[in-house]
Chains A and B, each alone.
Chain A
């Protein structure tokens, strides 16, 4: 309780409120623009947080994260183009509703469902994370090694339809994490004699390259296509009324529970949650034939689920130090540039910051509703900004922001190179998310493995003699092989 009060105190800082508001506006606009993702919004803004106090910077990023996911629904409903991948399921009923002249109802539903999903997962984040972190205090190097492996085992889930390529991406991420001085004996590895490389590759610079520069290069490749501006439908009143809210409440709860659970599982992803919630809602409905033709519950279910993923996805990062997706890796980068690290020590060393983050998360979701309703009036103008013009502005933010982190031009070079890596990954259909997760977890795996081996005098028996390590390892192996087993089970049942 004291810690929650500490968090509340942190949020009363006018700067935190100001940046929560600003973060919601930035996230909402970037999320609404098709082609610009929430990840890119966070990546571009991480360098700005470097000069801010940690509580202000993290509040800013949390607000961007929550509102970008919500913002994605705006273009999904008005244009039939999801602003972010997580809003894909929203287009199924949101766009038909807009075409029927009920854009206000669809947007209002999306706003209320998103806020509910965000608040629900915020509460879970605040109460579950400390419990997990407390348990993690008992961990030694062997357990941390197993936890890091558990984090990396999600690679098979986030690899899409080509697991070998996903695994290759993960291995390349582990190699990139090796670059720099060996932390135990100071031997330079893959530094090629460049002093800039001795401290390793900056996580934030590389992520800005992968999300920012790569998106511009993709735009460049497709720029010869004729840019057609779609007509944005008129938006009537977006307030859906108390009666409709009560009618939709069970849908919001189901979507939020699915979203939060899926979010906590490393690698499961927002898409899984939104389609699960949509599918479940359709199955439970007394009129399933109306889904896909403009049923407001078809908007409420995925929107509550995708915003519930936001809180869930931060649980493993903050409690165990394991990012389950690219967004959590970006948050880790933001926390690291302030000289802090995630996991149990975060709770003991900086309770004000972490509880401030929880409260900021909840406040950001509360701000989102009135702000979203207000900004919807200007969406016509925002959605008509040409993508080509935005590309130049994105490059400017990438190049400037990345330099500002350490005032080192080498970071700009790292961003350009990683932008190219992201582009080539896209051409070869290699997913980038496994590389990002591995880059973050690489040092944790190697450091703890070597420490555990030293403690067990070179023997690998720590993997099965310590019950906690063994338990986590079993879950990690299960998580690794699950994507292979599930299709086999499905095929077997399909044959029967």
Chain B
């Protein structure tokens, strides 16, 4: 990659870190001085490191622009579909988090496994369904019967 992409990412990361450091500094400034003293030192460090990363990112962008590294940039870019897959897996996780508190453990877990594995591109249903069923039911039984854990939700 990636060359200039990394330079841009670093530049953004540095600016973001500086902003985070400043926001946190003002937040801690509103607390009693003995509680805020140590966190404020860390905020200074975050702002300073953010500045260093911003400057190095900017320099990297300039150097790579000068070298005409545009070709590497395009070749280093990932297929947007791969990010869509990541996003879907994250959505399944959040859906599981909300669902298992209402519906119970086993059904959301079964759906989480099937959804994730299918989204990743695995299509052998004869393997996937028994594995998903076995893992979700097996974990439920082990955790409730052996470890005495009580799961929330209406159903099992």
Would A396 and B135 be within 8 Å (CB), given that A223-B85, A403-B151, A409-B152 are in contact? Answer: yes
What's the Cα separation between A224 and B88 when bound, in Å?
A: 14
User: Would you call A164 and B90 a contact (CB within 8 A)?
Assistant: no
User: Would you call A393 and B32 a contact (CB within 8 A)?
Assistant: no
The answer to whether A456 has its CB under 8 Å from any CB of chain B is: no
User: Would you call B49 and A392 a contact (CB within 8 A)?
Assistant: no
User: Would you call B150 and A220 a contact (CB within 8 A)?
Assistant: no
What's the Cα separation between A223 and B109 when bound, in Å?
A: 21
What's the Cα separation between A221 and B80 when bound, in Å?
A: 9
Cβ–Cβ < 8 Å partners of B116 in chain A? 216, 220, 391-392, 395
B55-83 CB mask vs A (1 if < 8 Å, else 0) is: 01000000000000000000000110111
List CB contacts (< 8 Å) of A157-188 with chain B: 164-165, 167-168, 171-172, 174-175, 178, 182, 184-185, 187
User: Would you call A223 and B148 a contact (CB within 8 A)?
Assistant: no
Select A404's contact among B85, B93, B147, beta carbons within 8 Å: B147
What's the Cα separation between A392 and B105 when bound, in Å?
A: 15
The residue of chain A having its C-beta at the shortest distance from the C-beta of B131 within the complex is A389
The answer to whether B13 has its CB under 8 Å from any CB of chain A is: yes
User: Would you call B149 and A407 a contact (CB within 8 A)?
Assistant: yes
User: Would you call A416 and B94 a contact (CB within 8 A)?
Assistant: yes
What's the Cα separation between A407 and B42 when bound, in Å?
A: 33
Select B86's contact among A389, A404, A423, beta carbons within 8 Å: A423
List CB contacts (< 8 Å) of B139-156 with chain A: 139, 143, 146-152
| Residue from B9, B32, B82 having most chain A Cβ neighbours under 10 A | B82
User: Would you call A51 and B148 a contact (CB within 8 A)?
Assistant: yes
List CB contacts (< 8 Å) of A412-426 with chain B: 412-413, 416, 419-420, 423
User: Would you call A409 and B97 a contact (CB within 8 A)?
Assistant: yes
Q: How far is the CB of A259 from chain B (nearest CB, A)?
A: 33
Cβ–Cβ < 8 Å partners of A175 in chain B? 24, 39, 42, 46
Q: How far is the CB of A321 from chain B (nearest CB, A)?
A: 19
A387-408 CB mask vs B (1 if < 8 Å, else 0) is: 0110111011101100110010
User: Would you call B109 and A220 a contact (CB within 8 A)?
Assistant: no
User: Would you call A428 and B79 a contact (CB within 8 A)?
Assistant: no
The residue of chain B having its C-beta at the shortest distance from the C-beta of A397 within the complex is B139
The answer to whether A189 has its CB under 8 Å from any CB of chain B is: yes
The answer to whether A213 has its CB under 8 Å from any CB of chain B is: yes
The answer to whether B107 has its CB under 8 Å from any CB of chain A is: no
Cβ–Cβ < 8 Å partners of B105 in chain A? 400
B82-123 CB mask vs A (1 if < 8 Å, else 0) is: 110110111001101100110001000100111011011110
Interface size on B, residues (CB 8 A): 64
What's the Cα separation between A88 and B117 when bound, in Å?
A: 28
Query: Binding site of B, secondary structure by majority: helix, strand, loop or mixed?
Result: helix
User: Would you call B89 and A216 a contact (CB within 8 A)?
Assistant: yes
Cβ–Cβ < 8 Å partners of A224 in chain B? 79, 81-82, 85, 121
User: Would you call A450 and B86 a contact (CB within 8 A)?
Assistant: no
The answer to whether A449 has its CB under 8 Å from any CB of chain B is: yes
User: Would you call A428 and B119 a contact (CB within 8 A)?
Assistant: no
What's the Cα separation between A409 and B90 when bound, in Å?
A: 17
Cβ–Cβ < 8 Å partners of A50 in chain B? 147
User: Would you call A171 and B46 a contact (CB within 8 A)?
Assistant: yes
User: Would you call A446 and B150 a contact (CB within 8 A)?
Assistant: no
Select A393's contact among B100, B113, B143, beta carbons within 8 Å: B113
Q: How far is the CB of B109 from chain A (nearest CB, A)?
A: 6
User: Would you call B49 and A167 a contact (CB within 8 A)?
Assistant: yes
The answer to whether A219 has its CB under 8 Å from any CB of chain B is: yes
Cβ–Cβ < 8 Å partners of A51 in chain B? 146-149
What's the Cα separation between A221 and B149 when bound, in Å?
A: 34
Cβ–Cβ < 8 Å partners of B82 in chain A? 220-224
| Residue from B88, B116, B117 having most chain A Cβ neighbours under 10 A | B116
The residue of chain A having its C-beta at the shortest distance from the C-beta of B82 within the complex is A221
User: Would you call A189 and B39 a contact (CB within 8 A)?
Assistant: yes
What's the Cα separation between A174 and B49 when bound, in Å?
A: 14
User: Would you call A428 and B113 a contact (CB within 8 A)?
Assistant: no
User: Would you call A428 and B150 a contact (CB within 8 A)?
Assistant: no
Cβ–Cβ < 8 Å partners of A48 in chain B? 147
Select A164's contact among B9, B53, B112, B128, beta carbons within 8 Å: B53
The answer to whether A190 has its CB under 8 Å from any CB of chain B is: yes
Would A389 and B127 be within 8 Å (CB), given that A395-B113, A407-B150, A429-B6 are in contact? Answer: yes
User: Would you call B120 and A395 a contact (CB within 8 A)?
Assistant: no
The 5 A-B pairs at the shortest CB distance, nearest first, are namely: A392-B113, A392-B117, A388-B120, A388-B122, A51-B147
Q: Which A residues lie at the B interface, using CB under 8 A?
A: 48, 50-51, 164-165, 167-168, 171-172, 174-175, 178, 182, 184-185, 187, 189-190, 213, 216-217, 219-224, 227, 386, 388-389, 391-393, 395-397, 399-400, 403-404, 407, 409, 412-413, 416, 419-420, 423, 427-430, 445-446, 449-450
Q: Which B residues lie at the A interface, using CB under 8 A?
A: 6, 9-10, 13, 17, 24, 27-28, 31-32, 34-35, 38-39, 42, 45-46, 49-50, 52-53, 56, 78-79, 81-83, 85-86, 88-90, 93-94, 96-97, 100-101, 105, 109, 112-114, 116-117, 119-122, 127-128, 131-132, 135-136, 139, 143, 146-152
25 contacts between A and B (CB under 8 A): A48-B147, A164-B49, A164-B53, A165-B13, A168-B53, A171-B46, A189-B28, A189-B31, A190-B27, A223-B121, A388-B122, A389-B122, A395-B89, A395-B93, A396-B109, A396-B136, A399-B109, A403-B149, A404-B147, A407-B149, A409-B97, A419-B90, A427-B9, A445-B38, A450-B38
Extra contacts besides A48-B147, A219-B120 (5): CB < 8 Å = A185-B35, A189-B31, A224-B82, A399-B109, A428-B9
